[in-house]
């Protein structure tokens, strides 16, 4: 990334804060207050309201949705301190960051590191403007945890590759414009035969079939490639470098799953406060159910120490320059805790916390049930908890592979 | 596994054969797809009743076989394995209330019909979303019962409600003064809030002061038996899957980390089975029922909770799909976990029963 000059004084920060406040006053449509970014996720079709479009375009034009990305590719070119100010001011105004999705969370940072100049010029600006949706073509029916076993083959045809094979569990595949994929270019070497390439989802021969999930939605697909032509300029890095690049992307994914995005939003919503709305309390406002109270406190203490761990790890990895294997620890801890939280919400709400549909349940209650079910996936995707444990044991702790 | 007599073995084998052949999970899928709030197949229930399953705890003089709760539990466990949707558990529990507390006339009127499947009964106790039998507002005056019961299981198919009021249990027939509001839960089974507005009610006057607790303990052990079947099935399916799924050029079952997980679950399942069977047997023996039923449901809650989560986790991505069955067990598991005693409620009750 380009070198950045840290703001030297408090006055600079104050000036920047004022600039952000002014920007919000000028651009943030009041009707969007309190909304979250419906399009950032991978779990819905693209149906923006005019106000949402306006807000996305305003933030995108400044590059403030990707504040620390370099300015020459459409990012904000800002320091971490300034990015934090944007976060704070947006939060104060009840404004969401309209720029998100897999492009921001994992593909962009990876391309900035490994892409060539032309690729960065082509792909990063539309991500910063929130115009293009990316999906991840990694997993295959026989390449899940053993991702390197992937068989989708890209045959060298001179000026292009001809891709054949099947990906699966492609989140948002049915709504995505483009796919970053790892494919096999050499059948003779498991890891060195893998290459990282970018595939347009509307290329002839790409077909998706949505799969329904236990939460009742269909946010992911089987993706089939039949004689799909991919131009050579869509190869990222060298042929055979795909495993290295692909793994780096996974580190970004893990960091996002655990600490960055979704979990942070839950901060501040104490389970105890929720419990008091559903459960009887005693004279001092304490929960009458002592066992449940103990469980909530136990959870909240571990949740707090997780947030502290996440913060410490971020600071340490910043000093060390980028994401690292600590992302495995964070992913494993954060996903387990958020699953526990969903389960505790059910215990707090009783059967009212298990509604599937109907007027008798609030949107919040129904949303929590779907999130509880969907949340079971977080310990499976992005490298399962078991795989994180293997990474920690082998790469961090140097424990030998005995099998 | 409890030592079974010949009749019990026959009953279990028959239940196993029927559920596997006639009521696999695809039958539950059909019930779900139909979207009917009643959420069970009437023909299938008629067959079950014909096989005698609705009358297992009903005395012979009233048309049942009087085999007892361990026997009923054997059938319910098999039904749990394939997620067979039926009012059998609730009907059995409600019938037990009449057996324990009904007059000769009430028994003669209802038990033969509940045993034959001609009528269906259910139990309505809780008035909020968490189990709390100490908090009952429903009251009766001049034989008219008023109050609202929350999340009543199998309410849509019920002809008769056994209703807890402040001063005891009452029989209320569906009809005038009884209104249902469907509450659709994750398990896609029948649940409703039931409002009784001056509904004609007859007291179950003979069961003594502990009648409500006695009936709830029967609900706890039978619910635990359903969970036992579910847990067993999730365990078996997961083990099969690990033995066939290949990653890293070897079956997943060959990874020690997963072997130990399955060994832990196997041990948990053994505990669950002992606790559930002991609960059922205690009811039959009429001794130490409250404590045994509390342990049975608490262990069922604990083990089923983990089993459902592990079942999904160890299946990986396919465990998250609707096409695969394991998610259904998770969704049913939590509803049962929250019914007739959550884990915290049961721990509190256990402490009280143990005098600390
Ligand atoms: C909701 C959801 C969204 C997803 N989105 C995407 C996407 O957008 N793009 C994409 O490419 N993929 C996606 N995935 C796929 C995901 O990355 C895989 O599901 C994951 O890698 C696990 O692979 P698998 O499902 O084949 O499970 P398997 O690898 O078959 O694993 C089954 C179980 O065995 C365990 N296991 C496997 N190997 C070992 C070992 N060596 N030691 C111990 N335990 C082991 C696993 O941890 C797991 O518990 C998604 C998955 C889900 C559920």
Could you tell me if B258 and B228 are in contact, meaning their C-beta atoms sit under 8 angstroms apart? no
Count Cα atoms within 13 angstroms, Cβ side, for A213. Answer: 24
The tokens for A117 are 């100049």
> What are B124's strand-pairing partners?
B163
Could you tell me if A225 and A182 are in contact, meaning their C-beta atoms sit under 8 angstroms apart? no
Would you give the DSSP letter of residue A48? -
Could you tell me if A256 and A106 are in contact, meaning their C-beta atoms sit under 8 angstroms apart? yes
Nearest one of B55, B176, B68 to B118, comparing CA atoms: B55
Smallest Cβ–Cβ distance between B321 and the set A145, A146, A213 belongs to A213
Could you confirm whether domain A269-396 is CATH 1.20.140.10? yes
pLDDT band for position A259 (50/70/90)? low
Nearest one of B270, B1, B71, B326 to A377, comparing CA atoms: B326
Could you tell me if B115 and B125 are in contact, meaning their C-beta atoms sit under 8 angstroms apart? no
Asked if pLDDT for residue A314 goes beyond 90, the answer is: no
- Distance between A292 CA and the closest CA of chain B, angstroms: 6
Nearest one of B122, B289, B292, B141 to B203, comparing CA atoms: B141
| DSSP character string of A99-127 | --SHIIIIIHHHHHHH--HHHHHHHHHHH
Nearest one of B317, B338, B340, B337 to B327, comparing CA atoms: B317
Q: How far is CA B36 from CA A283, A353, B42, in A?
A: 45, 22, 12
| B320 to A352: CB separation less than 8 angstroms, yes or no | no
Which CATH architecture group holds A134-241?
Answer: Beta Barrel (2.40)
Asked if pLDDT for residue A46 goes beyond 80, the answer is: no
Contacts within 8 Å (CB) and 24+ apart, A2-7: A2/A70, A2/A71, A2/A72, A2/A77, A4/A77, A4/A78, A4/A79, A5/A79, A6/A79, A6/A81, A7/A79, A7/A81, A7/A82
Q: Tell the burial category of A91 from Cβ atoms under 10 Å away from its Cβ (0-12, 13-18, 19+).
A: exposed
Write out the catalytic residue numbers of A.
Answer: 253
Q: Which of A43, A144, A191, A214 to mutate to test the interface with B (most CBs of B within 10 A)?
A: A214
Could you tell me if B151 and B175 are in contact, meaning their C-beta atoms sit under 8 angstroms apart? no
Q: Which chain B residues are closer than 8 Å to A356 by Cβ?
A: 184-186, 188
| % residues pLDDT > 70 (chain A) | 90
Q: Which of A144, A208, A377 to mutate to test the pocket of ligand 1 (most atoms within 8 A of CB)?
A: A144
Rounded to whole angstroms, the maximal C-alpha distance in chain A is 78
On whether any CB of chain B is under 8 Å from the CB of A145, the answer is: yes
Q: Whose CA is nearest to atom 33 of ligand 1?
A: B314
| A358 to B186: CB separation less than 8 angstroms, yes or no | no
Alpha-carbon span A60 to A54, nearest angstrom: 10
pLDDT band for position A2 (50/70/90)? very low
| A376 to B186: CB separation less than 8 angstroms, yes or no | no
Which CATH architecture group holds B211-354?
Answer: Up-down Bundle (1.20)
> What are A224's strand-pairing partners?
A166, A207
Coil, helix or strand at residue A57: helix
pLDDT at A73: 97
Compare B32 and A40 and report the one with higher pLDDT: B32
Alpha-carbon span B187 to B329, nearest angstrom: 8
Asked if pLDDT for residue A11 goes beyond 90, the answer is: no
Query: What average pLDDT score do residues A369-382 get?
Result: 94
**Contact map slice: B 272-311 vs A, CB within 8 A:** 305, 309
**A225-237, pLDDT tens digit by residue?**
999 999 999 999 9
Helices B211-244 & B326-337 angle (0-180, nearest 10): 160
For the full predicted model, state whether its pTM sits above 0.90: yes
Alpha-carbon span A369 to A345, nearest angstrom: 9
pLDDT band for position A254 (50/70/90)? confident
Torsion of CA A332, A334, A340, A341, to 10 degrees: -170
- What are the start and end residues of each CATH 1.20.140.10 domain in chain A? 269-396
For B21, other C-beta atoms within 10 Å of its C-beta total 9
pLDDT band for position A39 (50/70/90)? low
Alpha-carbon span B116 to B51, nearest angstrom: 9
For A318, other C-beta atoms within 10 Å of its C-beta total 11
pLDDT at A34: 84
- Angle at alpha carbon of residue A99, lines to A94 and A105, rounded to 5°: 115
The residue assigned the tokens 């998770």 is B330
Alpha-carbon span A322 to A254, nearest angstrom: 13
pLDDT band for position A8 (50/70/90)? low
| B330 to A376: CB separation less than 8 angstroms, yes or no | yes
The tokens for A154 are 């890209």
3-state per-residue secondary structure call for chain B: CCCCCHHHHHHHHHHHHHHHHHCCHHHHHHHHHHCCCCCCCHHHHHHHHHCCHHHCCCCHHHCCCCCCHHHHHHHHHHHHHCCCCCCHHHHHHHHHHHHHHCCHHHHHHHHHHHHHCCCCEEEECCCCCCCCCCCCCCEEECCEEEEEEEEEECCCCCCEEEEEECCEEEEEECCCCEEEEECEECCCCCEEEEEEEEEEEEECCCCCCCHHHHHHHHHHHHHHHHHHHHHHHHHHHHHHHHHHCEECCEEHHHCHHHHHHHHHHHHHHHHHHHHHHHHHHHHHHCCCHHHHHHHHHHHHHHHHHHHHHHHHHHHHHHHHECCCCHHHHHHHHHHHHCCCCCHHHHHHHHHHHCCC
pLDDT at A1: 39
Could you tell me if A348 and A272 are in contact, meaning their C-beta atoms sit under 8 angstroms apart? no
Which ligand 1 atom lies nearest to the CA of residue B318? 25
Alpha-carbon span B172 to B149, nearest angstrom: 13
Alpha-carbon span B337 to A349, nearest angstrom: 12
The tens-digit pLDDT sequence of chain B (356 residues) is: 788 999 999 999 999 999 999 999 999 999 999 999 999 999 999 999 999 999 999 999 999 999 999 999 999 999 999 999 999 999 999 999 999 999 999 999 999 999 999 999 999 999 999 999 999 999 999 999 999 999 999 999 999 999 999 999 999 999 999 999 999 999 999 999 999 999 999 999 999 999 999 999 999 999 999 999 999 999 999 999 999 999 999 999 999 999 999 999 999 999 999 999 999 999 999 999 999 999 999 999 999 999 999 999 999 999 999 999 999 999 999 999 999 999 999 999 999 999 99
Could you confirm whether domain B121-203 is CATH 2.40.110.10? yes
Which ligand 1 atom lies nearest to the CA of residue B245? 30
> What are B153's strand-pairing partners?
B191
Which residues fall within 8 angstroms of residue B56, CB to CB, at 6 or more apart?
Answer: B11, B64, B65, B67, B68, B71, B72, B75, B92
Fold annotation for B6-116: Butyryl-Coa Dehydrogenase, subunit A; domain 1 (1.10.540)
Compare A318 and A89 and report the one with higher pLDDT: A89
**Contact map slice: B 12-71 vs A, CB within 8 A:** none
| A351 to B129: CB separation less than 8 angstroms, yes or no | yes
Report CA(B238)–ligand 1 centroid distance (Å). 15
> What are A230's strand-pairing partners?
A161
On whether any CB of chain B is under 8 Å from the CB of A356, the answer is: yes
Count Cα atoms within 13 angstroms, Cβ side, for A80. Answer: 6
- What are the start and end residues of each CATH 2.40.110.10 domain in chain A? 134-241
Alpha-carbon span B138 to B161, nearest angstrom: 13
Could you tell me if B231 and B303 are in contact, meaning their C-beta atoms sit under 8 angstroms apart? yes
Contacts within 8 Å (CB) and 24+ apart, A200-207: A201/A135, A201/A173, A201/A176, A201/A177, A202/A177, A203/A228, A203/A229, A203/A230, A204/A228, A204/A229, A205/A163, A205/A229, A206/A179
Torsion of CA B134, B139, B145, B147, to 10 degrees: -60
Could you tell me if A249 and A320 are in contact, meaning their C-beta atoms sit under 8 angstroms apart? no
Alpha-carbon span B143 to B166, nearest angstrom: 13
Asked if pLDDT for residue A265 goes beyond 70, the answer is: no
Name which of A78-82, A308-312, B16-20 the model is least confident about: A308-312
Q: Whose CA is nearest to atom 31 of ligand 1?
A: B316
Q: Whose CA is nearest to atom 12 of ligand 1?
A: A139
> What are A195's strand-pairing partners?
A183
The tokens for A326 are 């600590």
pLDDT at B306: 98
The tokens for A45 are 């079709």
Could you tell me if A206 and A364 are in contact, meaning their C-beta atoms sit under 8 angstroms apart? no
pLDDT at A325: 73
Closest chain A residue by Cα to residue B153: A351
pLDDT at A373: 96
| A212 to B305: CB separation less than 8 angstroms, yes or no | no
Domain boundaries, chain B: 6-116, 121-203, 211-354
pLDDT at A5: 52
Q: Which chain B residues are closer than 8 Å to A377 by Cβ?
A: 317, 320
Which residues fall within 8 angstroms of residue A109, CB to CB, at 6 or more apart?
Answer: A252
Give me the phi and psi of B168, to 5 degrees please.
140, -170
pLDDT at A90: 94
Coil, helix or strand at residue A303: helix
Q: Report residues whose beta carbon is within 6 angstroms of any ligand 1 atom.
A: A 135-136, 138-139, 144-145, 169-171, 220, 377, 380-381, 384, 386-387, 390; B 245, 247-248, 252, 255, 257-258, 313-314, 316-317, 320
Which ligand 1 atom lies nearest to the CA of residue A387? 47
Give me the phi and psi of A168, to 5 degrees please.
-145, 170
Coil, helix or strand at residue A385: helix
Alpha-carbon span B35 to A286, nearest angstrom: 41
Asked if pLDDT for residue A42 goes beyond 90, the answer is: no
Write down the ipTM of this complex.
Answer: 0.94
């Amino acid at each position: 990334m380009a070198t950045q000059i840290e703001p030297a004084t408090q006055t600079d920060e104050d000036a920047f804060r004022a600039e952000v406040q002014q920007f919000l006053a000028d651009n943030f449509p009041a009707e969007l207050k309190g909304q979250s970014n419906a399009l950032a996720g991978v779990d819905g079709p693209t149906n923006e309201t005019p106000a949402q479009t306006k807000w996305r375009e305003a933030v995108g034009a400044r590059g403030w949705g990707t504040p620390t990305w370099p300015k020459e590719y459409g990012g904000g070119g800002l320091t971490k301190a300034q990015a934090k100010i944007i976060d704070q001011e947006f939060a104060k105004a009840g404004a969401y960051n309209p720029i998100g999705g897999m492009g921001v969370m994992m593909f962009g940072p990876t391309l900035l590191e490994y892409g060539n100049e032309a690729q960065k010029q082509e792909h990063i600006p539309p991500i910063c403007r929130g115009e293009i949706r990316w999906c991840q073509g990694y997993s295959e029916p026989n390449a899940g945890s053993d991702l390197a076993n992937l068989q989708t083959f890209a045959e060298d045809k001179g000026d292009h590759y001809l891709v054949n094979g099947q990906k699966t569990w492609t989140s948002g595949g049915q709504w995505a414009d483009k796919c970053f994929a790892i494919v096999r270019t050499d059948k003779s070497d498991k890891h060195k035969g893998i290459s990282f390439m970018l595939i347009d989802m509307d290329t002839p021969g790409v077909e998706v079939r949505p799969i329904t999930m236990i939460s009742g939605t269909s946010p992911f697909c089987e993706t089939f490639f039949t004689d799909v032509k991919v131009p050579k300029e869509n190869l990222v890095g060298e042929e055979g470098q795909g495993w290295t690049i692909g793994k780096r992307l996974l580190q970004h994914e893990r960091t996002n799953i655990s600490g960055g995005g979704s979990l942070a939003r839950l901060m501040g919503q104490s389970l105890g406060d929720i419990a008091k709305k559903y459960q009887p309390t005693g004279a001092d406002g304490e929960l009458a159910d002592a066992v449940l109270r103990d469980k909530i406190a136990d959870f909240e203490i571990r949740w707090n120490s997780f947030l502290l761990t996440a913060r410490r790890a971020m600071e340490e990895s910043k000093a060390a320059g980028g994401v690292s294997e600590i992302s495995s620890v964070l992913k494993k801890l954060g996903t387990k805790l958020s699953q526990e939280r969903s389960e505790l919400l059910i215990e707090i709400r009783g059967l009212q916390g298990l509604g599937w549909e109907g007027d008798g349940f609030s949107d919040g209650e129904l949303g929590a049930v779907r999130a509880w079910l969907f949340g079971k996936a977080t310990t499976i995707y992005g490298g399962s908890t078991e795989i994180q444990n293997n990474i920690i044991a082998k790469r961090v702790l140097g424990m030998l592979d005995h099998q | 596994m409890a030592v079974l007599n010949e009749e019990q073995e026959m009953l279990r084998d028959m239940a196993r054969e029927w559920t596997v052949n006639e009521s696999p999970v695809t039958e539950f899928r059909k019930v779900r797809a139909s979207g009917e709030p009643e959420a069970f197949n009437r023909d299938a229930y008629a067959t079950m009743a014909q096989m005698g399953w609705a009358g297992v705890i009903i005395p012979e003089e009233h048309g049942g076989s009087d085999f007892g709760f361990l026997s009923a539990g054997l059938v319910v466990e098999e039904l749990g394995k394939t997620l067979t949707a039926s009012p059998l558990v609730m009907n059995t529990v409600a019938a037990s209330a009449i057996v324990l507390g009904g007059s000769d006339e009430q028994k003669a009127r209802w038990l033969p019909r509940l045993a034959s499947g001609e009528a269906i009964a259910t139990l309505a106790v809780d008035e909020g979303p968490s189990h709390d039998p100490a908090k009952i507002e429903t009251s009766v005056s001049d034989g008219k019962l008023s109050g609202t019961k929350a999340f009543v299981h199998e309410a849509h198919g019920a002809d008769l409600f056994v209703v807890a009021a402040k001063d005891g249990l009452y029989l209320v027939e569906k009809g005038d003064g009884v209104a249902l509001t469907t509450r659709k839960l994750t398990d896609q089974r029948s649940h409703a809030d039931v409002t009784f507005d001056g509904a004609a009610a007859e007291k179950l006057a003979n069961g003594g002061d502990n009648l409500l607790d006695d009936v709830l303990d029967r609900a706890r052990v039978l619910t635990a038996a359903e969970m036992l079947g579910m847990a067993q099935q999730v365990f078996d399916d997961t083990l099969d899957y690990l033995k066939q799924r290949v990653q890293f050029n070897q079956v997943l079952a060959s990874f020690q980390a997963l072997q130990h997980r399955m060994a832990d679950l196997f041990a948990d399942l053994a505990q669950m089975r002992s606790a559930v069977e002991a609960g059922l047997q205690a009811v039959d023996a009429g001794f130490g029922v409250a404590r045994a039923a509390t342990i049975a449901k608490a262990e069922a809650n604990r083990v089923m909770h983990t089993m459902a989560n592990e079942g999904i986790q160890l299946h990986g991505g396919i465990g998250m799909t609707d096409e695969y069955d394991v998610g259904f067990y998770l969704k049913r598991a939590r509803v049962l976990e929250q019914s007739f005693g959550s884990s915290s409620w049961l721990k509190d009750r256990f402490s009280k029963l143990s005098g600390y």
